[in-house]
């Protein structure tokens, strides 16, 4: 995996690929934020991913931050990771963030290729802006 870096360009923060990640200009910060906390439960395989994708799609289009608590879920399919990464991409595009918390070793392995979601394990500190 390549290194992730940031650079500041005219009050914009970009990742190493040059995609906008967020603004550092106080005038660009929204006056309100919507945070959605989601805690799916069960085992998500290929046949189950549609509902997860639909839910995350709606939240990615409307929320500022989505916190996806993976403590009670098993990701059996790479399609689940794709759905999570797609939602993270949309949130990131809009200046938001998808934060996956309580990801066990299996979930972290599945989500290892996600470039648009922040993934932390159980008991690990979560990023603070």
Residue 9 resides in a domain: yes
Our count of domains for the chain comes to 2
Residue 127 resides in a domain: no
Domain limits for position 17: 1-31
Residue 84 resides in a domain: yes
Same domain flag for 58 and 87: yes
Specify the residue for token string 């085992």. 43
Specify the residue for token string 């599945």. 110
Residue 106 resides in a domain: yes
Same domain flag for 43 and 92: yes
Contact, 89 vs 122, CB < 8 A? Answer: no
| pTM, entire model | 0.73
Per-position pLDDT tens, the chain of length 129: 344 333 333 344 444 555 445 555 556 656 788 999 999 999 988 888 999 999 999 999 999 999 999 999 999 988 999 999 999 999 999 999 999 999 999 999 999 999 999 999 998 887 665
Phi and psi based region of residue 42 (left: phi greater than 0; alpha: psi -120 to 50; beta: remaining): left
């Amino acid at each position: 995996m390549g290194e992730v870096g940031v650079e500041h360009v005219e009050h914009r923060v970009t990742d190493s690929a040059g995609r906008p990640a967020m603004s550092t200009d106080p005038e660009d910060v929204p006056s309100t934020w919507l945070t959605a906390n989601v805690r799916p439960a069960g085992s998500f395989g290929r046949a189950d991913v549609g509902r997860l994708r639909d839910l995350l799609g709606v939240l990615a289009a409307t929320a500022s931050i989505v916190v996806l608590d993976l403590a009670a879920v098993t990701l059996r399919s790479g399609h689940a990771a794709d759905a999570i990464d797609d939602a993270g991409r949309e949130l990131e595009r809009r200046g938001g963030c998808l934060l996956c918390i309580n990801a066990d070793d299996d979930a972290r392995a599945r989500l290892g290729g996600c470039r648009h979601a922040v993934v932390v394990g159980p008991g690990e500190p979560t990023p603070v802006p």
